[in-house]
């Protein structure tokens, strides 16, 4: 087994299911100790922790509301205290509210920005205090950060575009310390929240990719694990598309 992340400690926010869980598994497969955060699914979080521990790594789950900057800051601190250090931060937690102009409630817009942007900002600011040379910060963005291929996703796209912009700036800020900052932009991925099925909308999404299919959470996880490794030490400030060629 390739243990290229052995000795590293990682935090995956929103890691109890879907893409987050796949990322946690990929990091653990490469030898990293992994902490995950969750909001409302303790059973799934505990089950994943047991699964990760069976891979021979240390694993733990913490509850935290990504919309609350204080909770996010405390989460990062607790992970560093638990493992003794923090080497990899994966900002995966996020929400997706849709609706055209005038249809979305102001409180939903505010919560989407609070989680997708504010939570990431809080996590990175705290992690930056704790990381040393070789640290890795990876955020999960979206193909919607660079295009809005259908109506009703303007607010969501704006949050992911903000993270891409932050990523470029943070890469400049942290580069002199040897810490890389990147964003992974998934396309249509088969998860509980976005099943690959026979719905017309799903078929349209698949036909829009160059590969003609949905992606797998494991394919996003593998990309994150690579960016967390020493093999990606000269990649920073980048947006890596894992979208099957949707934005090609």
Q: Sketch the domain layout of the chain as residue ranges.
A: 9-239
pLDDT for residue 201: 76
Say which CATH class 9-239 falls into: alpha beta
Annotated catalytic residue within 38, 156, 166, 246: 156
Token couple for 238: 């980048």
CA distance 183 to 164: 7
Looking up tokens 């990719």, which residue turns up?
A: 209
CA distance 80 to 131: 9
pLDDT for residue 150: 83
| Residues 182, 236 contacting (CB under 8 angstroms) | yes
Listed residue (145, 138, 232) closest to 187, CA to CA: 145
CA distance 244 to 248: 9
The yes-or-no answer on residue 156 being catalytic is yes
Residue 208 CA to its chain's centroid (Å): 23
| Residues 136, 89 contacting (CB under 8 angstroms) | yes
Tell me the whole-structure pTM to 2 decimals: 0.96
Ramachandran bin of 183, using left for φ above 0, alpha for ψ from -120 to 50, beta for the remaining angles:
beta
pLDDT by position in tens, the chain (length 248) = 569 999 999 999 999 999 999 999 999 999 999 999 999 889 999 999 999 999 999 999 999 999 999 999 999 999 999 999 999 999 999 999 889 998 999 999 999 999 999 999 999 999 999 999 999 999 999 999 998 878 899 999 999 999 999 999 999 999 999 999 999 999 999 988 788 787 887 898 889 999 999 999 999 999 999 999 999 999 999 999 999 999 99
CA distance 90 to 120: 9
Listed residue (115, 195, 103, 188) closest to 149, CA to CA: 188
Looking up tokens 């976005």, which residue turns up?
A: 194
pLDDT for residue 193: 76
> Interior CA angle at 222 toward 219 and 227, to 5°?
130
CA distance 176 to 10: 21
């Amino acid at each position: 087994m390739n243990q290229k992340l052995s000795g590293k400690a990682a935090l995956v926010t929103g890691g109890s299911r879907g893409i987050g869980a796949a990322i946690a598994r990929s990091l653990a497969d490469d030898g990293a100790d992994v902490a995950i955060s969750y909001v409302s699914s303790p059973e799934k979080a505990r089950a994943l922790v047991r699964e990760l521990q069976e891979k021979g790594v240390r694993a733990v789950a913490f509850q935290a509301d990504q919309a609350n900057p204080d909770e996010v800051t405390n989460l990062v601190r607790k992970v560093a205290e638990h493992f003794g250090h923090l080497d990899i931060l994966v900002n995966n937690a996020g929400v997706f509210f849709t609706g055209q102009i005038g249809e979305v409630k102001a409180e939903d817009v505010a919560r989407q920005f609070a989680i997708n942007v504010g939570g990431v900002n809080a996590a990175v600011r705290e992690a930056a205090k704790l990381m040393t040379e070789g640290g890795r910060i990876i955020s999960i963005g979206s193909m919607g950060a660079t295009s809005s291929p259908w109506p009703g996703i303007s607010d969501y796209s704006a949050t992911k575009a903000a993270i891409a912009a932050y990523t470029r700036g943070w890469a400049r800020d942290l580069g002199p310390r040897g810490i890389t900052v990147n964003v992974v932009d998934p396309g249509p991925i088969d998860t509980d929240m976005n099943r690959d099925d026979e719905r017309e909308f799903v078929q349209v999404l698949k036909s829009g990719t160059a590969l003609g299919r949905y992606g797998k959470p494991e394919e996003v996880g593998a990309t994150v694990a690579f960016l967390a490794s020493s093999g990606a030490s000269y990649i920073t400030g980048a947006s890596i598309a894992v979208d099957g060629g949707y934005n090609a």
